[in-house]
Structure 1
Amino acid sequence: MASNPKQKTAIVVGAGVGGIATAARLASAGFSVTVLEKNTFTGGRCSLLTHEGYRFDQGPSLLLLPGLFAETFADLNTSLSAEGVELLKCDPNYNMWFGDGEKFELSSDTAVMKREIEKWEGKDGFERYLSWLAEAHRHYEISVREVLHKKLYEHLQSPQTKLSKASVCAASV
């Protein structure tokens, strides 16, 4: 841990993407950081297992929220490109295979998605999909604003938190 007794220390549990990003941000802020990981490897879901000559990605299957990855690198005074990271667009984005040999193809091409969704969900399926995407985007924006871009202590100080509500209830008994 810290050799300087006045240096702030932190312990991060988990060496997945979130744990490593948190540890890097804390270290960049001057903390002495120790990362604890239960596995013999780092990366969490961004890892690979091998067994009897086969390779198994543990995930993630899709790179979601690339903007948050860019923010993390910016917080550490660098960028994805400066670190040699290039995000490549794959098409199709993802295939879901079913036991009967059928597949559902996820694509960023709107025409392909319309065809795929209507094949499985009927003529009005694509409109329902677009409605679902709009709702999911609203949830995403709220999550980023209210959770991801706030510090833990801000959540604990908020009167809307369960912890605060529990304290108020306990005090009134």
Structure 2
Amino acid sequence: VGVPYLAINLAHVALGSSLLANLVEGLVRLVLLVAYLAAISLMPDVRRVFAYHGAEHMTIHAFEHGDPLVPERIEPYPTAHPRCGTAFLLFVVFVAIVLFAFLPRVNVAFDLIVRLVLVVPVASISYEVLRFGAAHERSPLMRAIVAPGLLLQRITTRRPDARMIEVAVASLEEAIAGDRETEAAA
């Protein structure tokens, strides 16, 4: 929150507009996010984590399509998933850009407090839009809204090996069992 704000706050006078300064701040935030993800994706350990991430998505796809949860049936599915946390994070950045664009710049302390207070509403709006998108995934509008998140997942997911898929299957099966236990106890 603070670094992009402080950097753009210095240029606010030169930009001459709170709206323009806030939009530039949001773009700086977006560039930092993508650059960070791209940079860490070059690390071998992170590439391995991203392969597990891809295995998770592929397994969820198979589960949602009613396919058996075995590597041979999971392997054809894509590593990207529309309801991924990466897509959520990107959507939070987009919602923040839109919402913060219309906030006046008062002073550093006030502006940072307002941005911190708005983190929960921004995350809530983002979550609800992605949830709505899940219910209307065939809608061209929702496909357009989800597309940037799917594109970003080209950085945050990799093709897994069969062992990684087996781990994803075991994790999903444990999550399903946990849900059943919770529902039975309720």
TM-score over 0.5 for the alignment?
no
| More contact order relative to length (CA 8 Å, sep ≥ 6) | 2
The alignment's TM-score, normalised by the length of structure 1, stands at 0.22
Look at both structures and tell me which one has the larger radius of gyration over its CA atoms. Answer: 1
The alignment's TM-score, normalised by the length of structure 2, stands at 0.21
- The structure where strand makes up a greater share of residues is 1
- The structure where helix makes up a greater share of residues is 2
